[in-house]
Structure 1
Amino acid sequence: MIINITELNISGCYLIESPIFSDERGEFVKTHHQEIFKNFGLEIPSAEEYYSRSKNNVIRGMHFQQYPDDHNKLVFCPEGEVLDVFLDIRKDSNTYGQFMSFILNPHNRRSIFLAKGIAHGFLSMKDNTLIVCKTSTVHSPSRDSGIHWNSFGFKWPVENPIISDKDRNLDCFF
């Protein structure tokens, strides 16, 4: 079982594709392997792990934590489907202002590794979608921040999304 890791166009971000082992009992998928991650210089996010369950057409984001509580993040979707979106907000980065998106679901077994200074959000594309995040720092409410979901040029493929008041009132990127 080899985990494939591909560096993305946004500095410090990686697409991780995990193999699946299936038999009469079901399936087995490894979402992270310390030695393989080390070979790519990736800090294993291990300070906190959480999940959210979302209805269809929910947008959550675009979230990040401010320094010194900013974090690397590993994101995967073991149930349902999301359009995972991330934006480089590091002003000193060559990829500042650039964004990318990927479909994550249990069938494609993709995970995304996000570096510190990347705003993250997603669109739930099915009811009862589960997304799991592992982070390198513990959530700090005083450092919790975000960018308005519709302010950085990404075209979300949904009309009338379900959005929290908190996310609806985030500051615009541009």
Structure 2
Amino acid sequence: MKVETFPIVGPILITPDCFQDTRGFFLESYKSSSFGHHGIPSQFFQDNHSRSSKNVLRGLHFQSPPMDQGKLVRVIRGSVLDVIVDIRKSSSTFGHHLKVVLTDQNKNIFWVPPGFAHGFLTLEDDTDFLYKVTNEYSKAHEGGILFNDPSLGIDWGIDVKDAIVSDKDLVLPLLKDLESPF
């Protein structure tokens, strides 16, 4: 497998070894011993699966301690623009964002550690997005940042007026108004 790190410390992009033949393909989407060498935990408590139409924008979400979540995310059908924002107060990259494209073709897997707000925009209809999380969902610990906060400077690749966004995500706070728990 190929592992890519970034100027923002913590996130990791993994391109798994994929073995293809006339029958199809095989890859290891998670292996504790391999992923653990790169700081990815060996214990996950919940798996999530979403299917979305094109231009659905979900996020930017996080959970606060003690229910904070690391996420191991991938796409098994379609494609997404996956975006994270560093919300670790002591980080030199606080407020910076990182974008990766995850598709069923590139089969990349993205590790998003705790301390990051996470969101994605679907680039195709019927996109299936899977993610393993290091803690169970807790409504009492959920938080987020407004996806189109001008201070973040995120280019989602579309006019955000065309994005399909939940009512809940439309009223998330700006980064400047966030009391980060990290």
Range of TM-score over shorter length:
over 0.9
- Aligned-residue offset at 1:5: 1.7
Deviation, structure 1 residue 93: 1.2
Q: CA deviation at 1:45?
A: 4.9
Give runs of ≥4 in structure 1 deviating > 3 Å: none
The count of corresponding residues between Structure 1 and Structure 2 is 172
Letter in 1 for 2:173: D
Note if 1:73 corresponds to 2:71. yes
Give distance in 2, aligned partners of 1:37 and 1:45: 11
1:25 CA displacement: 1.8
Separation in structure 1 between the aligned mates of residue 42 and residue 61 of structure 2, nearest angstrom: 20
2:156 maps to 156
Unaligned runs of 5+ in 2: 177-182
Task: Give SS of 1:43's match.
Answer: coil
Question: Greater CA deviation, 73-82 or 42-51?
Answer: 42-51
1:104 pairs with 2:102: yes
Q: Is the 8 A contact 1:64 1:145 kept in 2?
A: yes
Deviation at 1:46, TM superposition (A): 1.2
**How far apart, in 2, do the equivalents of 1:45 and 1:165 lie?**
33
Normalising by structure 1, we get a TM-score of 0.95
2 CA distance for matches of 1:161 and 1:134? 25
The CA RMSD measured in Å over matched residues stands at 1.1
Displacement of 1:44 after TM fit?
A: 3.0
In 2, the alpha carbon distance for the partners of 1:167 and 1:86 equals 15
Q: Distance in 2 between matches of 1:32 and 1:9?
A: 24
Distance 1:143 1:149 in 2: 19
User: Is contact 1:74-1:114 (8 Å) kept?
Assistant: yes
Q: Distance in 2 between matches of 1:35 and 1:118?
A: 24
Letter of the aligned partner of 2:51 in structure 1? R
1:165 and 2:167 matched: yes
Once the 2 structures are TM-superposed, how far is the Cα of residue 42 of structure 1 from its aligned partner?
A: 2.0
The residue aligned with 2:24 is 26
Structure 1: runs of 5+ lacking an equivalent: none
Task: State the partner residue of 2:82.
Answer: 84
| AA in 1 matched with 2:18 | I
Aligned residues with identical type, % of pairs: 35
